[in-house]
Structure 1
Amino acid sequence: MSGLVLVGAGTMGVNIAALALGHGLPVTLVDLDTAILDRAATGIRTALRHGQLMGALPADTPVATARTTTDLTSVAGAEVVIEAVTENAECKAKLLAEVAGLVSPGTPLVSNTSGIPIDELAGAVPRPEDVIGTHFMNPTYLIGTTEVVRGPRTSEPTLRAVTVLLARMGRRSVVVNDSPGFVTSRLLHPMINDAARLVQAGTATVEQVDELMRGCLGHPTGPLRTADLIGLDNLADALRVLADRTGETRYAPCELLLAKVADGHHGRKSGRGFYDYGKVLS
């Protein structure tokens, strides 16, 4: 598989790029901001080193070449396009519509989203059968399973092309049907929100919540440390999607989470979230 183009060079774009490159798949990374692309190049190198040290990337596969550009027309000729821009339905739909006008019919258009319904995004393009969703977890190069979301209009060839690509990237695909939040976010994000509410109410500290979830219920990291890894801004956006699309107010991000986002405490990527990491991590 060649001709993978990623649009969006933020945290998830960097992670997905590192995963593909580490499995020998060349990547073109597109973003409108050259400063973001410069940071992404550093982030990809860091992710590759980490993945290699953890034994999560194949040691016998040469790392492929990444090309960065601000020119969206670079998607022309792509075999698969993955958008990994901000978790905003309007922004994603607008981008997918632009990309659809630049690629050949039948090119899979993949939205990497934690919960925006895929058919909602597919309605913005002339060939909705080309649109499919993925929900890569962070850090993508360490987590071996990827949630794949098939919309009601997603075609079999689109699904097949994406699952083949994921297999080439060493990922196991679990294909689910379209729904706000799909499976992982629908279960995980409200749990994190409730954990933050317990801290907000003074029932327990951040450390106590995570310690109980790890020690008593077997959660590998604890929900609030997991939230820092996801990114608190991304988490708040995903919870708003759930609340808006389901009409259930329990999904609305709690006050403590919103306050941290407003203060710029977005988790590991900013150096501080529910925990203090001492410095901004690249």
Structure 2
Amino acid sequence: MEPKTIMVVGAGQMGAGIAQVCAQSGFNVYLNDMNEAALEKGISGIGKRLDRAVEKERITEEDKNAALERLEPSNTLEDAKDCDVVIEAIVEKIEVKTSVFQELDTHAPAHAILATNTSALPITEIAAVTNRPDQVIGMHFMNPVPVMKLVEIIRGLQTSDETYKIIEQLTHALSKTPVEVNDSPGFVSNRVLMPMINEAIYTVYEGVATPEDVDTVMKLGTNHPMGPLTLADFIGLDTCLYIMEVLHEGFKDSKYRPCPLLRKYVNAGWLGKKSGRGFYTYD
């Protein structure tokens, strides 16, 4: 099966980025969201990013218009009936994702692959609520999607070799680099990254150094392009906390215990850049 039409469920930052990359790569794309305002914002954001790409001469005006023509807004999951691949990119809550996958399973054609962009949740558990667990797979894009080259492809317990091969080929078609990962809490990227961020937060919590100095040490001392606390603010402190909780629950190991300061900031509504305040203050 060679995919031609893709549905992306969720028009937030990740979903809109995935839809943009798919449309630019020549696929027909439904960008789906039940929230009309979120859907409009997602489509508008894609247009603005493509305009900037034209201004910087990365693509032509014709390329931009062709991508936008391949992009169609959707507010019903019934549109999955026309799709070869569905990529879900909604909130990181297992009960919400499984509910969406159950509905997608009823609408998508029998050959369609159902993928999830989850950054930490178990693929096997999501697949189990469908009648096609062999055609369910993880497809974890990095943020920002149009820029970052990596896609973690996560096999669930029942994911077939054929499903993996199709998604691997699709990833190459999107000009991304696929890495095969087995189903485990946090996969590779977040299992390594989030404990580092959590430990950086502990150094602030324990008074070892300020956020600015922690970030400077990691940028100049270990050649990170962005300090871990700046990165945490960019990701969203609520997302960081949630992933640490998934790791802590999944491994039952105290080394994954979320820092109390991280929990305190989230409870205060200091979620990072998106809320205007995290470890740094934003306009």
TM over 0.5: yes
Letter in 1 for 2:67: V
Structure (1 or 2) with the larger CA radius of gyration? 2
Whether the aligned pair in 2 keeps the contact of 1:229 and 1:268 (CA below 8 Å) is yes
Paired residues in the alignment total 277
The verdict on how the C-alpha distance between 1:176 and 1:70 changes in structure 2, with shifts beyond 3 A counting, is same
Aligned match of 1:200: 205
Whether the aligned pair in 1 keeps the contact of 2:142 and 2:149 (CA below 8 Å) is no
Shift of 1:87: 0.8
Whether the aligned pair in 2 keeps the contact of 1:30 and 1:68 (CA below 8 Å) is yes
Q: Does 1:36 align with 2:38?
A: yes
Structure 1 residues 75-224: aligned runs within 5 Å: 75-224=80-229
Letter in 2 for 1:225: T
Shift of 1:264: 2.9
Letter in 2 for 1:150: R
In structure 2, what is the Cα distance between the partners aligned to 1:105 and 1:237?
33
Whether the aligned pair in 2 keeps the contact of 1:4 and 1:81 (CA below 8 Å) is yes
Q: 1:235 aligns with which of 223, 227, 240?
A: 240
Aligned match of 1:16: 18
The verdict on how the C-alpha distance between 1:132 and 1:188 changes in structure 2, with shifts beyond 3 A counting, is same
Shift of 1:23: 2.7
Whether the aligned pair in 1 keeps the contact of 2:21 and 2:174 (CA below 8 Å) is yes
In structure 2, what is the Cα distance between the partners aligned to 1:30 and 1:249?
39
Structure 1 residues 40-55: aligned runs within 5 Å: 40-49=42-51
The verdict on how the C-alpha distance between 1:36 and 1:144 changes in structure 2, with shifts beyond 3 A counting, is same
- Between stretches 132-141 and 268-277, larger displacement belongs to 268-277
In structure 2, what is the Cα distance between the partners aligned to 1:236 and 1:255?
10
Deviations 1:54-85 (A, max 9, x none): 77x65584424321122111111211000011
Whether the aligned pair in 1 keeps the contact of 2:9 and 2:32 (CA below 8 Å) is yes
Aligned match of 1:2: 4
Letter in 2 for 1:261: V
Aligned match of 1:63: 67
- Structure 2 gap ranges (5+): none
Greater share of helix: 2
In structure 2, what is the Cα distance between the partners aligned to 1:221 and 1:174?
23
In structure 1, what is the Cα distance between the partners aligned to 2:76 and 2:152?
29
SS in 2 for 1:76: helix
Whether the aligned pair in 2 keeps the contact of 1:88 and 1:237 (CA below 8 Å) is no
Whether the aligned pair in 1 keeps the contact of 2:133 and 2:158 (CA below 8 Å) is yes
Q: Does 1:253 align with 2:258?
A: yes
SS in 2 for 1:63: helix
Whether the aligned pair in 2 keeps the contact of 1:22 and 1:58 (CA below 8 Å) is no
Shift of 1:39: 1.7
Deviations 1:204-249 (A, max 9, x none): 1111111101111121211111112222222221111111111123
Shift of 1:150: 1.2
CA RMSD in angstroms, aligned pairs only: 2.0
Whether the aligned pair in 2 keeps the contact of 1:118 and 1:151 (CA below 8 Å) is yes
The verdict on how the C-alpha distance between 1:235 and 1:49 changes in structure 2, with shifts beyond 3 A counting, is farther
Give % identity.
Answer: 38
Shift of 1:94: 1.4
Whether the aligned pair in 1 keeps the contact of 2:87 and 2:117 (CA below 8 Å) is yes
- Between stretches 244-253 and 81-90, larger displacement belongs to 244-253
In structure 1, what is the Cα distance between the partners aligned to 2:237 and 2:27?
30
Q: 1:73 aligns with which of 75, 78, 89?
A: 78
In structure 2, what is the Cα distance between the partners aligned to 1:206 and 1:54?
34
In structure 2, what is the Cα distance between the partners aligned to 1:27 and 1:216?
43
